[in-house]
Amino acid sequence: MKIIEFAEYIWSDKQSRYILLKEKSINWTGRVALAKGASSTQEQLQASQAAFYNTITQDYNTQFGKQSAILGTLTSALAPALAAGPNQMGYSSAQLQNLNSQAVQGTGQNYAAASKALREQQASTGGGNVAIGSGVQSQQQAQLASSAANMASGEEMGIQSAGYAQGQSNYNNALSGMAGVAGMYNPTGYSNSANSAGQGADTEANAVQQANQEGMNDLMGLATGAMGGLGSVFEGKCWIAAEIFGGWKDPRTILVRKWLDKEFSKHWYGRQFNRWYSRHGRKVAKQIKTNRLERWAFQKLFEWFLSQASGEKEGVCP
């Protein structure tokens, strides 16, 4: 492998290219350290983490949709009991009517049997030889009927009480069920897996980026060392200065070119300008040949560059 230790180029206006003047190189046969970033294993792990995060997120959305459908059905079933409040009737109108009918029918049957037994008893009093006045018999039958009516009323009240007790039980059960639904509806527990997967993917992505940056730094270090033997980055490339100051070999052009490459490039804004200059300097130098306003602006700028390069009192860039 050929390693160039020193090279000197000069710009040729005639040929519009750099011409090699001197070069010193060696043929390297030893080991070479690669200025490399993240390993393939790191990149595969990062891709796997990202894919896992996407899968978990999709599963979470699907699971949450299913839970919403199920819990929505439960909510619809429990909401009426909650809306009716704790003093609701626990029986439906049909159930209440049926229970009351059963109570009345049972009381009527009991009353009929008791009335028959009373008449038989009245008839057999004294062996059947003692007559009981009709008024007494009527009074006894009335008392029996009153007892039957009281029994029927008591049973109906018992049914009402049992119905309201059932209603309160329904309300409490619905309240407890809705609390359970609210707890099940909380997506935080399931989303923890997605959050963990996202954090893992982000951590691995940062590791890959850091490794790549370190590789780039190593590469830039090698390039910087190599550039030390290649001469100035702006060697022969100060097109605007050459146009303003009257040529490539003008001392002012050479002085500004070296200052831009060395002192000015120590600042971030200097490096930004130099990158712009490398890309657009040739085009701008042609434009200011005919554009007087643009030429005036760049002349002020490069005169300020010249003042800085000459070591004059620091001024403000116009």
| Residues 219-237: tens digit of each pLDDT | 455 444 444 433 344 444 6
The predicted structure's pLDDT at residue 127: 57
132 secondary structure, DSSP code? P
The predicted structure's pLDDT at residue 227: 40
The predicted structure's pLDDT at residue 5: 72
| Mean pLDDT computed over every residue of the chain | 75
Instruction: Please tell me whether the overall predicted TM-score, pTM, comes out greater than 0.85 for this model.
Output: no
* 40-84 helix and 134-185 helix, angle to the nearest 10 degrees: 160
- Token output for 247: 């040529």
CA dihedral 26, 16, 283, 232 (to 10 degrees): 30
- Mean pLDDT along residues 200-215: 70
In angstroms, the CA 230 to CA 235 distance is: 10
Q: CB of 219 within 8 A of CB of 37? A: no
The predicted structure's pLDDT at residue 252: 93
Q: What one-letter code names the amino acid at 316?
A: V
Is the predicted pLDDT of residue 214 greater than 70, yes or no? no
| CA atoms within 13 Å, Cβ hemisphere of 313 | 0
What is the share, in percent, of the chain residues with pLDDT greater than 70?
A: 70
- Mean pLDDT along residues 128-144: 67
Q: CB of 151 within 8 A of CB of 128? A: no
Burial of 239 (0-12, 13-18, 19+ CB in 10 A): buried
The confidence band for 294, taking pLDDT boundaries of 50, 70 and 90, is very high
Task: Label residues 27-49 b or e (16+ Cβ within 10 Å = b).
Answer: eeeeeeeeeebbeeebbebbeeb
